């Protein structure tokens, strides 16, 4: 129930809840958490969770049931008095697989690092070789997700047709990330799901929040013309004829030159557009620290205003949540949304 706005005298409070193999850790254990760091990226890497315990009971760290690699961990934050008195927000961080365990003493300190990947480690560790023929990006993603018992979400609109693509000694995670990127799509592994999405579609979504300079705890801004382009030319070789062709997109004087394999001129143009827009994404970037806002997620957008040349709509590339005895901080890596070249 919303009551009056929070006053400066009433402190906000954060309480973590951790479950290991679906079993909730006792409060006497969570009270010994020294730091939690949760990293939420938009694409290219898995969500990650690091939990550090200090001076915790030895049986929890060294006992028979102590957390071990491969264990499932889920985490959430309860935020109290965040905007309103008596308000309680449940912020679910996700489910993860414990990937690394580091323990030292004395004092007894344990750090558990986990990734949002399936418990079957072959998703990220086992190289595979296969030629995918007469397929689509959606079909490849669905097939890989099914192999690991993951839900598959395809949010990219039109089908991306693939005549032939080789997976050469690549694990499925690496291969699918690279394939999505090749065609200008983002990919996120989160909470038992593989999500492939259209970057253009997500950039067009409504801003989650608007910030002025006074809203930012700290910030840095970079605007560069280096490695930004107005057009692209892609040389590709036709596998059947063994002849080399060129596909052009965009125009102007700053041309990106690409050499890749392609099934056809249409396929080459699609890849060239994806690579051109990817290069231009990094033209204008910011790093900001803000008061933690549970609405903010990677793949979302926000607006900066009243900051002159910094103003604009930005895509959220990554959010790093840090909770420790000094409080709760949220740092964002964002990029200004550029006009996409479509043909």
Q: Is the pLDDT of residue 325 over 90?
A: no
Q: State the pLDDT confidence band at 281, using cuts at 50, 70 and 90.
A: very high
Average pLDDT of the chain to the nearest whole number: 91
Q: Residue 89 in contact with residue 79, Cβ under 8 Å?
A: yes
Q: State the pLDDT confidence band at 120, using cuts at 50, 70 and 90.
A: low
Alpha-carbon span 107 to 55, nearest angstrom: 6
pTM value is: 0.91
Which strands make up the sheet holding 185-190, listed edge to edge?
Answer: 151-155, 193-198, 185-190
Handedness of CA 278, 279, 283, 286 (dihedral sign): positive
Q: Is the pLDDT of residue 316 over 60?
A: yes
Q: What is the structure's pLDDT at 65?
A: 82
Point out which residues pair with 125 in neighbouring strands: none
Task: Determine the length of the chain.
Answer: 343
């Amino acid at each position: 129930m919303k009551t009056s706005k929070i006053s400066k005298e009433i402190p906000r409070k954060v309480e973590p809840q951790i479950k290991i193999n679906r079993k909730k850790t006792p409060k006497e254990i969570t009270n010994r958490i020294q730091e939690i760091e949760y990293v939420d990226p938009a694409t290219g890497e898995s969500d990650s969770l690091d939990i550090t315990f200090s001076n915790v009971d030895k049986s929890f760290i060294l006992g028979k049931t102590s957390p071990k690699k491969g264990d499932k961990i889920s985490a959430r934050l309860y935020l109290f008095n965040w905007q309103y008195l008596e308000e309680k927000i449940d912020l679910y961080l996700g489910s993860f697989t414990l990937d690394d365990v580091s323990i030292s003493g004395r004092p007894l300190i344990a750090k558990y690092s986990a990734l949002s990947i399936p418990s079957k480690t072959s998703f990220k560790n086992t190289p595979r070789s296969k030629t995918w023929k007469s397929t689509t990006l959606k079909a490849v993603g669905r097939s890989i997700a099914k192999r690991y018992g993951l839900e598959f979400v395809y949010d990219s609109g039109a089908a991306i047709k693939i005549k032939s693509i080789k997976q050469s000694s690549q694990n499925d995670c690496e291969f699918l990330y690279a394939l999505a990127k090749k065609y200008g799509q983002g990919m996120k592994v989160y909470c038992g799901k593989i999500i492939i999405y259209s970057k253009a579609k997500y950039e067009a979504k409504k801003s989650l929040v608007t910030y002025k300079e006074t809203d930012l705890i700290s910030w840095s801004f970079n605007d560069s013309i280096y490695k930004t382009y107005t057009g692209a030319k892609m040389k590709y070789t036709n596998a059947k004829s063994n002849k080399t062709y060129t596909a052009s997109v965009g125009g102007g004087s700053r041309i990106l030159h690409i050499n890749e394999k392609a099934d056809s001129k249409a396929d080459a143009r699609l890849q060239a557009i994806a690579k051109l827009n990817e290069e231009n994404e990094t033209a204008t970037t910011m790093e900001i620290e803000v008061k933690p806002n549970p609405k903010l997620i990677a793949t979302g957008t926000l607006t900066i205003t009243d900051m002159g040349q910094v103003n604009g709509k930005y895509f959220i590339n990554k959010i790093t949540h840090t909770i420790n005895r000094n409080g709760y901080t949220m740092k964002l890596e964002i990029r200004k949304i550029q006009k996409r070249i479509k043909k």
